[in-house]
Every structure is written in structure tokens, then in C-alpha cells.
Structure 1
Amino acid sequence: MSRLHAGLPRSLLLASGVLASFAAIDISTAFAQQAGPREQLPPVEIAPRPDQKRKQARPANRDERVARRAPANRAASPATAPKPGDQPAQTPLNTNVVAESASRLGLTVHEIPATVEVISAETMREQGYRTTSEVAQGAVGVTSGDNPAEPAAFSMRGFTNSQINTLYNGIKIGPQNMTSRIMDTANLEAVEFVKGPASVMSGEGASGGAVNVVTKQPHTGPIRNEAFFSYDSLNSFRSYYGSGGSTNVQGLDYRFDISRSSLNGFADDTGTKTLDVSGQLNYRISDSLKVWGAIEYREDRSKAYWGAPLVPIAFSGSHATTGIVSGTYVASNGSNLGPITIDDRTFNTNYNVLDNRNVAQEVWLRGGFELKLAPDLTLKSQAYAYGAERSWFNNEVEAFNTTTNTVDRSRFYVAHSQRLVGNITDLTWDANIAGFDNRFVTTLSSSYLDFVRPGAFKPLGDSVPLVDFDRGFYGPLTIQQQTARIDNEALSVEDRLKLTRTFALVGGLRVEHIGLDRNSTDPAGLVKAGFPFTKDWAPVTGRLGYTWEAVPGLTFFSQYATGADVSANNIFLLLPTQPLDLTTSRTYETGVKHLFWDSRAEWSFAAYDIQRKNVYAAAGGMALNIAGRQESKGVELAAAVRVTDALRLWGNIAYVDARYADYNFAGGSFSGNTPPNVPRIVANAGAAYRFFTPWPVELGVVGRHVGDRYNTDANTVTMNAYTVADVYAFVDIPKSVFAAVEQTRLTFRVRNLTDKRYAIWGDPFYPDQILLGAPRTYEVSAAFKW
């Protein structure tokens, strides 16, 4: 910890110390609560919850209380009496919800010896999160970017892109930088963020953690319907309808959701259209057996925005901007730009060709059963199949040329045809061992991934003026093909042993086999030198930790965990001549989670130290460098409180010191440099006030600060720190106005209130350009529940 503290800002250490003191002062209050049951918050109106993936926790100790559910990052607000299908009161930071991507033991977030954050559908709706990337912007210490080559990319605890597993209902689709897409949040129940190495749960690729999207699923009870519509000043719209509940067939519950959106970009002729249709049936045959099946179809079609080019300040003159980027840069075409800027004439310029496209179509089929073999023995199994067709057809490079004072462009085409099938089977055993309550889960999983990747790269391209130019067309296309097949089998175990009513040991171990077969042909169809080739890995990863509830509501935790991933983090950048050893990672983490003041306030704190070895890093274009070792140390703090029935406050701050070590190459060294897209400081804060008028009105403001980041490992170009704020107001119209609708909410929202111009993300494979954040926009929406 001394090394960690030495690098932290004094203000952050002071804040941590103040909160630690606050916890000590409040212990007396917690002891007072121990004398009797904890008072619950008033009930709230929320969307129906499914009974499968996000069910309430089964207590590992017979005397434990039943866990309660909650939306994240907010304290519960009072509402009318609960209706069938509604859930009980909620905690401010959502720690009483089960996150199965973090543990298969059925533990709540409060009971897991790690940092896990769950952002619910209710929070997504209230905060106006339209995509999973926007959800990440509100999480503790997480940033994201939708660079078109790898949309829905995340940065967390010093790690980015494929160093973070992206999961669909707990299932890994493939490497993030190959498979992730822009996803609308309408059909989602929650997004889970598991911080730090998490290979025990999600397997290879989770050095920095995992992000899991959870779809809405059936609930048992009366049918509930919901719908919403929104429109904004960029002519974007979103629409959604969902329905779920019990059918007339005894034991049969259903869920159906459909959403359509057209999110227009601020740059000319850019935007993304999405369609998502999903459904699931749960059938409880008996008290001991339930079967289920689900299907989902998703598509997205984009006119892609690839960013604004870095240009010399000397060239831009009066059009040079400050506060967006700074530093010096040598472009990929060899031009030394010197001090760089973003030219204000390029804010809305689209450098893509006119016939560009970025398209994906995805289909999911899932089904399984849950069988209670004995009172303390449960078997669950899920089989799944996934298919995806993706295509990129763009100009992707925008490199300023100081000789011609033009922008050099390069075309790129690639397509994916992906097939994935697999099975996950769990056996859960509740037992009493020598007087200690114990829960044991063993999981057997296997999957087969087949990937075909036709592609073409045209590095010559063309050149256009910085402004006022003919965008042109892609031109002739010559294709070559790459293939990859990945077999994966894993056996994992988890165990929770309660040594006392308040102290538990939690551990896990995963033994995994990964088999890769690759081939590559040239445009003539001839196999390239060194291909085909085969490589196998057998990583063993695990975690061991404890939780100690010192007094009711105040839990201390620590853990040691390990992870592993394929070193190049992209199955199609692995060459037969490269060292193909696994990257390994480990973390030490400790912290505290505290729910107090009659469940009106909650805060959490965590400190961690992560090290990752045998790292490969992007070097621009399609090249990789061996980066040796990556180290990351940091702290995270989150808090939320319902001060009064009307006033809610929440906020979080994260500090990370992430650096490379042993990153040496011919001609230089990047040792000591910070990985791309990793800010030292990320902070969020918000407040909401509700006026209890006949038509209740709530006003809210949310602010976000992101520190300086770099766009490449060289750390010569800085994407400057920025602070943005959103404001919103909504009115809840009583049922008496619309008799058939139980809840109606009209919302007005202003995003980026101050119209701040800032850099939101940089793609190290395309370092000549920077993705800019959206300017100020206005949005109106209407939501209904009945």
C-alpha cells in the first residue's frame, strides 16, 4: 500500500481518510441497528424482475436475510403502494442484487469479496443511457468509446478493449475488439461491471475485468407492459415496447421486447440504426423442475464516424482549438506535425467515403433447465448457439500530410462470419460441514467458435483537402481470407464457507483448455507462409478472498485473483512467428461496503494492485509491439444517500496509476508510459430533487469529469481532461389522467449542457485521428407502464 499511496493525490487520500473516519463514527449507529431488524425504505415502482438470471440470493446461512433488489447509483425514492410483480425496497448503491457474472454462488454484491457494480434498467431510463457505452460512462472509474473498428470498447482499472471480457447473459462471444457492437439498452435489465482479473467466472480475456449485459426475462405474476418514445435535436429517435408475466397455462411465464432506434451523429452523414427483438419462455413443470428457452435477433447499421484528424497548429492558424488535444505527433504517413490541434472546421466533417457501411446482424438461441435433485442439490444447464455476420466498408485512416497540406485516406474492408455453440452446466450443493454452512458450485463449460474473416486493405487510398472536398467512393475491392477456430473447455469450482455468522471465506479455481487453429490465404487463394498453424493453452486461474460483516451493514473484504488471456488480444493478429505465450495477470484488492442510516445511505471503497505480464500493444496500423509488463494501482470510492424523501445525492471517484514496464523495442522504450485511453481520474456526481405535487416533478443534474488520456503508447498526444454535465426534468402523470396507463412519465433532457468540445476516445490502431464527444443536444421522451 505504501507504493500506492505514494502516487496518489493528497486530496484523494484526504477524502479516503475522511470516509474511513465517517465509517468509524457510524459504527455506533450500526450496533444500535443490531438490536432489532433493519427498517426498510418505502416501496418503489420498478419494472418487473425476472426470476432466473437476476433472482434473489439463496442464503448460504440459514439465518441470513433475503436479499433485496435495487437500481444502481441512486437512493430509492418514495412511491405508491407496490403492485404484483414489484420488488421490495432498494439500497442506494444496488449491493443487494445478485450478479451471476461475478459469482455462481448466488451471492449479492455486498457478499462478494470484490468490486462489482450493477446498473439497472431503472437507472438507465432515469439517467438517459441509450447505449451500453453510455451506461459505462456512469459507472465508477469506467470510460468507453465507440470507435467504429471496435465499438463499445471499455477502459477500466488501467485496462482496455480485449483485456476486458464482454459477456451476453454471462456468455463470452469472443474477443471484444472483434465482436462487440453498439447495443441499445431498451431490451436490457442490467449491465454488470466486474472489476479486476475475473477469469474464474468468464474465462480467458478478463485481465481488467468483465462487462456483462443482461436481457429482460420473464417474471411470475400479472402481465405488465411498458413502452417509450424519444426524439432529440439531432433528429434521433428511439422506440420500445416490452411485455411480460404469467400466461393462462399454469407455470408458463413469458417475456417479449422489441426496440428500434436511429441515433444520428453530429458529424455529417453519420449515425447508427438498431433493431433488437427478444423473447423468452419459462415453464415450471413442477416444484423441482423448470425449463426455458430464449431467442434474440439484433442488427445495427451505421454510417461511421472515424474521428477528426490531428493537424499542425501552424497550419490551422486562427482555426486551431485549445483544450481538446495537446502535444506533438508524427503521422502514420511520416509527416512531422509538430504541435498539434483539432481544427474547428473539422468538428462536423465526415472523411468517410460516400458508399461506406458498418453493418452487423446477430442471432441468439438459448435454452436450458433447472432441476432440484435434492433439497440441497441443484443442477442447472444452458445450451446456446450464436451467429453473426459483420461488415466494414470504409475509409478508416485520416492522416494529415504536411507536404501537400491534405488529408491522406486509406480504404479498409473486412467481414466476419461467426458461429458459436456451447454449453454451461452448474451443480450447486448446500451443506453443513463440521457445523459450518457451506455452498459449493462446480461448473463444466465448453464452446466451439468458428470465425471466417474476408478482408482487404488498400494503403494507397487517396488525398483530400482538410475542408470542402468530394468524399468519393471506395473503389475496386480485392479480397483475401483468414479463418480461425477456437475450442474451449473449462472446469471451475467455487466455494463459500461461513466460519461464523459474519465471516466467510470465498474461493474459486478454473482449469481451462484453449485450442486455436488459424489459416490465411492471399487474394489468389494460396496459403500464406507459416499457415495453417495450431496452438494450445491451458491456463489455471483462481481467486481467494473473505468478507467480514463487522457490524450489520458494514462489510470488509479482500481478495487475491488471477487471470489469463491470449497475448495479442486479437486472434487475427497472431502470426506463426510470434511468441504465443499466454498473458497472465493477478490482483490484490481490499475494501469496505457500508449500508447504514436505516438503509438511506451507502458507500463503498476499494484499493487494488494489478500486474499483467507478457503484454502486446497496438503500434498503429495492424502492427503490435511486445510491451512486457503492465502495472495498475488505484482506489475507487462511491456513495449515495437519500437525504430526505425529496432529495437524493450520489457520486463516485476513481484514481488509477497505470504504467508499462519492460516495454523496450528497437530504437526506444515506452517503459513508464501510460496505456492509451486510461485517465488517472474519473469522477461522477449527481443530485435530484422531487416535488410532491399532484403531478410529481423531479429535477436532476449529473456531472462527469475525465482526466487526461493518451491516444498511443508513445504518450506524445494528450486528449485533454474534460468536464460535462447533463440536466433533466420529468413529470409523473397520475393514472387518473390516462385511465388505461398506470404510470406515465414525460422527460426533457439536455446533454452536454455547456456545449463542451472534447476528445472522448482514441483508437491506437488509428492514431492519426481522435473521436470527439457529442455537442449539446436536447431530448424529449415519454414512457408508459400498464
Structure 2
Amino acid sequence: MSSIRIVRPRKFLLASAALTSFAALDLPAALAQQAREPLPPVEVSPAQSRKQAKPAGREVQSTRRAAARRPAAAAAMPKPVVPATAPPTPLNSNAVAESASRLGLTVRETPATVEVISAETMREQGYRTVSDVAQGAVGVTAGDNPAEPSAFSMRGFTNSQINTLYNGIKIGPQNMTSRIMDTANLEAVEFLKGPASLISGEGAAGGAINFVTKQPHTGAIRNEADFSWDSLNSFRAHYGSGGSTNVQGLDYRFDISRSALNGFADDTNTKMLDMSGQLNYRISDSLKIWGAIEYREDRSKAYWGAPLVPIAFSGSHATTGIVSGNYFNRTDLGAVTIDDRTFNTNYNVLDNRNVAQEVWLRGGFELKLAPDLTLKSQAYGYGAERTWFNNEIEAFDSTNNQVYRERFYVAHSQRLVGNITDLIWDADIAGFDNRLVTTLSSSYLDFVRPGAANFPNDYVSLVDPDRGFYGLLTTKQQTARIDNEALSFEDRLKLTRTFALIGGLRVEHIGLDRNSTDTAGLVNAGFPFAKDWAPVTGRIGYTWEVVPGLTFFSQYATGADVSANTSFLLLPTQPLDLTTSRTYETGVKHLFWDNRAEWSFSAYDIVRKNVYAAAGGMALNIAGRQESKGIELAASVRPIDPLRLWGNIAYVDARYADYNFVGGSFSGNTPPNVPRIVANAGASYRFFTPWPVELGITGRHVGDRYNTDANVVTMKAYTVADVYAFVDIPKTVFNAVDQARLTFRVRNITDKRYAVWGDPFYPDQILLGAPRTYELSAAFKW
């Protein structure tokens, strides 16, 4: 496989669409019509459009600093979509999962565990950021450490072992490129569990999470506006509009949102601005062109956590139920706790800043070449400027009973361009319905990373610290260019009306060119250097609808990534090999009781080999293997019209194996931020009065987790609950709007203090969850 080589992308970007077009012209002009219950027909519509599927036939029922923020190649995946005719189901399994398949399959038709959380669910559950959305998904946890915001844990894997996608496009590893994102401009968030390299490329050992922006629709113009305020003096505002214009065939969507979310720690906040727009123009029944633009900005005054403190020092201020264990790093702290005097303390310097500005440009066309042949192509460009300027380390020193602080600065200047072209072919093969999608994709990533060459430090008191300022800054620079090209095939063959085989293969090329200079601008020893990889990954599975609405599935899938995306961490003399992963998964999905109830179950076994793990500073350990086995169960039911009940639970046993290094072994240890049990549950009841009122409660339990590979400090299990009430105001009150809703929400109603996340590159401190807050919001549609 290492001998596979694909053309460099600057030529490939221009050639990919032409090559696919040539292949299309070489196919027979007239293809056989599908004879028995084919996949829903491909509709010419914008790539990444969020749709509900139209069922057919029986299917109607059916390294401390440098490790963070590192670049990698990107991949995109536009896919066929289908008419929006089927109503949502209790678990939203009628949704087409764009990050799970290019075949236009619904969640129920996909031989994998897929979860799609819609904009309506985000609004009802009060999910303000994508990290909030993840907390409600099955078996997913999230943390917003400022070094790696919007970090996720899923099926025993974390951070860059999970691909994060934006409208199906990967911009790089999560731990370098992700930012806190408001949900106001999003139409859906998709979760695909397990290795997913076939769809989203290298890096998807634990799965993929796709953020889908709101899309144009054909029909009357619809507008919406949302406002909220909470007891921390946070506010959010959003306006959106979309529909058909006076120009025949031209549809639009525009959204703008602004938010300022204040933290519970002193002088911390995140301010976000997001503007997105898209135009779809249907030139004819067979051709549509589209273009989209988005600008995002976030500016934060960052909270880096509360330091671990010796119980012996804290005395009566020591807390229980947040952390436990014995800790030794800079000094021996013995048994540790979180001191209750530090709950709201911000140890960051006064002139700290976390800033990111991002611009997206996307556009393409979809052309129906023949009744059963569709060509789709999109080009995209992305640019980002990011800056971290903070005190990032706050470690209690038992020799002087003070907090040691250390500064860090890094910036990114990122440019990404790419193209993805799909050819979708519906055919009849020996009397069996078949859909084949052939995809050519390429991207070119240019990444410039100025960073700190010195790290100013000082000591401050644990209580009421003198925060001071950053001080002297000396910088050096690293650069990377990453080329990525891929050819993939995905196919669905229906052997009977109820049994389908689904599989695919992806051949990918990754080329890395790196350079590094010192503070004087001189090239460091061993630089520049270049490396290449050519992973081959795929999936094979089946779906079997035993009775209407009851579908069994199984799959075998593989993934690959470049040594935990360590392109900025490993030195030229160190090995930089492919990390590979595979999964076996089986399960069942059941929609029944006239679409009033739905449940799903899955069991999986994942192994990831040749794993690299951080050993601090610029060093890495080779952890050998990472093994993960678990089960997931989700259910939702509406027994009577006013009442809705839902819940999910996930169990995972994740372990390192063959993780040996000079001086010890972590074999048998659990990876950081991986709880064994995660459970969510909720209930709501609607009173159909002249002014309808709904009351609801949601609860979440997260089991014990560790903050490092050493497993010496435990972040204790916690259970939190939110309650809400909303009232729908009749149109007769506000004649100008069709729908108006006022909502009152209490988050963390018991005011639980708990550890939400631990960054293994900052093991001396723990991020705490927010205390009880109150929120009032209003939403209007017209």
C-alpha cells in the first residue's frame, strides 16, 4: 500500500472534475431502470443539504503544548439527497446522514450507529454550543479546554481520533482547528460512531462529527429570530431567513448570530459572531448550481481550570466528589482535592486572549446526465487566523505552597482549498437494485505556525492571585504543507426487498512537507523534510429488515491516521508511521407503534494499532494498541400525545495494551477523559391549554474518568439535571408572527460541582463544570 501514489493536488484539483466527467461520458448512455424498490432517486440539490428521506415500499416503516493544535489533510463529501417527505421519527432515523454515507441512506438504512440531532432538538433542549449538543448524544462527552475547545470523547477515543467536519469537509485535526461554535446557524449535528475513514478520510479512528449549516428551501420565505439571557449575564441573538426569491429557480438562506457567553470563573467569557449564506439556482430540471459563504469569529478570555491541591494544605476547604487520587508532577502533592476557594478563580494573565477568525467559500453544481446518472462537484476554500496568548499552566507547588504559572503563545495562519466530485449511478445488476458512488477528492493545506520560544513563569498565591501580565515574548516558526488525494467507491446492492449489502473502499494519499526555524529564522537541523502515506480503508456491512420497521445490521470497517496527527510533534529522525484501526459492530434499529416509539442497540469491538501517546514536552510514547469494547442503547417513546420520554446509555471498556516505555508501563490503563458509563434521560409533558405550556426535565450521568494515561487522578462521576418550561403564545397576541415561544430554563438545578474535562497536556489542573444558572429566552417565526 505504501507504493500507491496519486498526483499532487494542485494539478489534481483541476483534473478531478474533468476525470469524473470523462468517466461519465464513457458509460452506456441508457442504463436499466431499477425494477424493485430502489433507493430513493437522487434529487439535484445543493451538496450537504439536510433532508428527510422518502421511504419506498416496505421501507415506509422502516505533548503538552505543541501536541495541541496540529494540522492534517482535509476531505469533503457532498452526497445525493432525497425529497423531504418523511416525518421525523422519535430518534430521527428518517434523516439522511451525510457523514455516514454518500449513498443517500437514512440512519435506519446505514449499517452503522449514526445519530442526527436536529435544529429543533437543539432549540428545545437548550443546546447553545456544539459541546452542549455532544453532551446529549449517546455515549459522547465533551470539554472546552481553551487549548483544544470542542473536544470530544466517543467509544473510548478522544480529540483528533474523532474527525470533526464542517458541512462534510475536514479542515484538520480537532486538537488544532476546532473552536467553540454556537448552534444558532446549524441545521443538524451528525455523529457517526467507529472508524469512518471511508467517508471522512484519515483520522477517524473513533468516528466523525459533522456540523451542518442551515440550507435554502424552495417555497415561501420563512423568518426566525431568537434571543436569550442568563444569570451570568450571557446573551445570544440570532436572525435567519430563507425561501424562494422572485427569480424563478433561485432560493436563498441567510443567518446571523451573535453571542457573549460569560463563564463562572472571574473575568472569563466567549464572544462569537457567525454569518452564513447560501444561494441555490435551479437552471433546469437537470442542473443546479449553488454557492455558500460563511464568516465565523470567536474571542475569549480563557479559563484554564482549577489546580489540584493537597488535601493536607486545603484543610477545611478541601472538597469531595470532584477528584481523588495521589499526584506527583512538579512536586509530590500526595492526596489531592479541588480547594473550594478556587471555584471561581481565574489564574490567567490580565492581557490574555484566544481569538479565531474563519472564512468559508463553497460552491458547485449537480448535473443529471441521464435518468440514473448524476454528476456532482464542489470546490471549497477555507482560511483561518488563530491566536492563543495566555498563562496556560497553573500547578500547585508543595515546596512553597504557591501556584506555579507558565505562559504560552501560538498562532495559526491556515489556508485550505479542495475539490470533491461524485458520480452516482443507479443500475439494475442481474435483476438486483444497485447504487454506486465513485468519488474523487483532493485538498491542499498550507499551515504556518508561529509559536513561543520562551515561556515566562512566576508564582502566585492560591487565593486571590496577582494575575499580572504576559511579559516578554520570543517566537519561532513552523510550517507544514499537506496534500491529500483520494479515490473511493461506495455501493449498495439490494439482494431482496429487505436485505442489502453495503460496502466501500477508499485509496488515499497524504503528503507532508515540513519546515522549522529558530528564533533567528535559521532552519533547524533535519529540516525541511517530507513524508508520504497511502492508507487503504473501507467498510462492508448489511442491513436486514426482518419485519417492517425492525432492521438488523452489522459491519466491519477500517480507519487510518498519521500517528495521532503528530506532524508538529515528531522530529524528522523519529518514526512517523500510520496508525490503523478496525471495528466489528452489530445491532438493531426498531421503529414501531405507528412511529410513536423507536429504539436502537449496538455492540462493537474496536482495535487501534501503533498508537502514539503524549509523554510531555516534545516527546511521544508508542502505546502499542488501544482496545475498546462496548454497547449503546437509545430509546424514545410518545405513549400519549402530551407525554414524551427518552433516554440512552452507553458502556465502554477502553484499555491500552503493549504500552511500555523506559521506567514503566501503562498497559491496561484507560485513555484520558473516557468514562465507562454515560447515560441521558428526559421527559416532557405538554398541556394543551389556550396558551400551550410544556414542562420538561433532562438528566445526565457521567462515570469516573482519568485526566492522564497514568490513571493516578480520578475525575469523579457526576449526575446533573436541567428543567425547563415554555409557553407557546397564540398568533392572536402577536399578529406579525406565526409562532412565538417564551422559555425559562434552569441548568444544573442541584448546583452540582464536578470535573467536566482534564487535558492530559495540562495534568496539574482540572476544568470544572458550570454551577446552577437561570436562562430566559424568546423565539419567533413568521
Q: Give the TM-score of the pair, scaled to structure 1.
A: 0.90
**What's 1:472 paired with?**
468
**What's 1:609 paired with?**
605
**Would the aligned equivalents of 2:625 and 2:659 in 1 still touch at CA under 8 Å?**
yes
Of the three residues 619, 623, 634, the one matched with 2:619 is 623
**What's 1:356 paired with?**
352
Q: Measured at CA, do residues 457 and 127 of structure 1 come closer, stay the same or move farther in structure 2, by a change above 3 Å?
A: farther
**Would the aligned equivalents of 1:50 and 1:219 in 2 still touch at CA under 8 Å?**
no
Could you list the per-position Cα deviations for residues 650-688 of structure 1 after superposition, in whole angstroms to 9, with x for gaps in the alignment? 000000000000000000000000000000000000000
**What's 1:530 paired with?**
526
**Which amino acid counterpart does residue 88 of structure 2 have in structure 1?**
Q
**What's 2:565 paired with?**
569
**Which amino acid counterpart does residue 484 of structure 2 have in structure 1?**
N
Of the three residues 397, 418, 422, the one matched with 2:393 is 397
1:220 match: secondary structure? coil
Of the three residues 122, 133, 136, the one matched with 2:134 is 136
**What's 1:204 paired with?**
202
**Would the aligned equivalents of 2:418 and 2:442 in 1 still touch at CA under 8 Å?**
yes
The 2-side partners of 1:271 and 1:208 are apart by 31
Offset, 1:469: 2.1
**Structure 2 unmatched ranges of 5 or more:** 1-44, 63-82
**Which amino acid counterpart does residue 256 of structure 2 have in structure 1?**
I
**Which amino acid counterpart does residue 763 of structure 2 have in structure 1?**
P
Offset, 1:362: 0.1
The 2-side partners of 1:664 and 1:229 are apart by 53
**What's 1:247 paired with?**
245
**Which amino acid counterpart does residue 324 of structure 1 have in structure 2?**
I
**Would the aligned equivalents of 2:539 and 2:556 in 1 still touch at CA under 8 Å?**
yes
The 2-side partners of 1:469 and 1:563 are apart by 47
Alignment of 1:256-295 (within 5 A): 256-295=254-293
2:409 match: secondary structure? strand
**What's 2:370 paired with?**
374
**Which amino acid counterpart does residue 192 of structure 1 have in structure 2?**
E
The 2-side partners of 1:504 and 1:87 are apart by 23
**What's 1:107 paired with?**
105
**Would the aligned equivalents of 1:709 and 1:720 in 2 still touch at CA under 8 Å?**
yes
The 1-side partners of 2:465 and 2:105 are apart by 58
Alignment of 1:79-118 (within 5 A): 89-118=87-116
Of the three residues 671, 674, 681, the one matched with 2:670 is 674
**Which amino acid counterpart does residue 773 of structure 1 have in structure 2?**
G
The 2-side partners of 1:703 and 1:570 are apart by 37
Of the three residues 691, 707, 719, the one matched with 1:711 is 707
**What's 1:192 paired with?**
190
**Which amino acid counterpart does residue 257 of structure 1 have in structure 2?**
D
The 2-side partners of 1:586 and 1:610 are apart by 6
**Structure 1 unmatched ranges of 5 or more:** 1-48, 69-84
**What's 1:303 paired with?**
301
**What's 2:493 paired with?**
497
The 2-side partners of 1:200 and 1:464 are apart by 50
Alignment of 1:716-735 (within 5 A): 716-735=712-731
The 1-side partners of 2:84 and 2:742 are apart by 22
**Would the aligned equivalents of 1:234 and 1:777 in 2 still touch at CA under 8 Å?**
yes
Offset, 1:89: 2.8
The 2-side partners of 1:58 and 1:452 are apart by 46
Could you list the per-position Cα deviations for residues 564-587 of structure 1 after superposition, in whole angstroms to 9, with x for gaps in the alignment? 001142321122122111000000
**What's 2:763 paired with?**
767
Q: Give the TM-score of the pair, scaled to structure 2.
A: 0.91
Flag the structure with more relative contact order, 1 or 2, with Cα contacts below 8 A and sequence separation at least 6. 2
The 2-side partners of 1:180 and 1:52 are apart by 20
**What's 1:633 paired with?**
629
**What's 1:579 paired with?**
575
**Would the aligned equivalents of 2:416 and 2:446 in 1 still touch at CA under 8 Å?**
yes
**Which amino acid counterpart does residue 462 of structure 2 have in structure 1?**
L
**Would the aligned equivalents of 1:615 and 1:628 in 2 still touch at CA under 8 Å?**
yes
**Which amino acid counterpart does residue 715 of structure 1 have in structure 2?**
N
The 1-side partners of 2:385 and 2:433 are apart by 48
Q: Measured at CA, do residues 516 and 671 of structure 1 come closer, stay the same or move farther in structure 2, by a change above 3 Å?
A: same
Of the three residues 453, 456, 477, the one matched with 1:481 is 477
Alignment of 1:8-87 (within 5 A): 53-57=49-53, 63=57, 65=59
1:110 match: secondary structure? coil
Please say if 1:588 is aligned against 2:584: yes
Could you list the per-position Cα deviations for residues 83-116 of structure 1 after superposition, in whole angstroms to 9, with x for gaps in the alignment? xx99653200010010111000000000000000
**What's 2:318 paired with?**
320
The 2-side partners of 1:200 and 1:281 are apart by 29
Which contiguous aligned blocks of 4+ residues in structure 1 show a shift greater than 6 angstroms? none
Offset, 1:134: 0.4
**What's 2:217 paired with?**
219
Offset, 1:50: 8.3
**Which amino acid counterpart does residue 165 of structure 1 have in structure 2?**
N
Offset, 1:622: 4.3
**Would the aligned equivalents of 2:46 and 2:365 in 1 still touch at CA under 8 Å?**
no
**Percentage identity across paired residues of the two chains:** 86
Please say if 1:429 is aligned against 2:425: yes
**Would the aligned equivalents of 2:54 and 2:84 in 1 still touch at CA under 8 Å?**
no
**Which amino acid counterpart does residue 506 of structure 2 have in structure 1?**
R
1:643 match: secondary structure? strand
Equivalent residue pairs, number: 718
